[in-house]
Amino acid sequence: MALLRSLAIIAALSYTFILLYMYLQQRSLQYFPGREGTAPELLGLSGVTEHRVATPDGETIVLWHAEAQAGQPTILFFHGNGGEMSGRHERLSFYQQQGFGVLFVSYRGYGASTGEISEQGFITDALTAYGFLTARGVAPGRIAVIGESLGTGVAVQLAAREPIGALVLEAPFTAAVDVAAEVYPWLPVRLLMKDQFISRDVISDVKVPLLVFHGDRDGVIPVEQGKALFAMANEPKELVILPGEGHDIISAPGVWAREVEFIRAKLPPQ
Q: What is the pLDDT of residues 51-71, one digit of tens each?
A: 999 999 999 999 999 999 999
**Residue span of the structural domain in which 22 resides:** 1-30
Q: Do 19 and 113 reside in the same domain of the chain?
A: no
The residue ranges of the chain whose pLDDT is under 70 are: none
Q: Do 9 and 57 reside in the same domain of the chain?
A: no
Q: Do 171 and 113 reside in the same domain of the chain?
A: yes
Measure the CA–CA gap between 12 and 178, rounded to whole angstroms: 25
pLDDT digits (tens, 9 = 90+) for 18-43: 888 889 999 999 999 999 999 999 99
Does 35 map to a domain? no
pLDDT at 18: 86
Q: What is the CATH number of the domain that holds 190?
A: 3.40.50.1820
Q: Do 21 and 104 reside in the same domain of the chain?
A: no
Q: How many domains does the chain have?
A: 2
Q: Do 155 and 262 reside in the same domain of the chain?
A: yes
Pairing of strands 166-170, 143-148: parallel
Q: Do 50 and 158 reside in the same domain of the chain?
A: yes
The Cα angle at residue 46 between residues 32 and 94, in degrees rounded to 5 = 65
Q: Do 10 and 61 reside in the same domain of the chain?
A: no
Does 202 map to a domain? yes
pLDDT at 114: 98
Q: Do 205 and 102 reside in the same domain of the chain?
A: yes
pLDDT digits (tens, 9 = 90+) for 198-219: 999 999 999 999 999 999 999 9
3-state secondary structure of 161: helix
Q: Do 24 and 111 reside in the same domain of the chain?
A: no
* Average pLDDT over the chain, rounded to an integer: 96
Measure the CA–CA gap between 109 and 150, rounded to whole angstroms: 15
- 249: DSSP letter: G
Q: Model-level pTM? A: 0.95
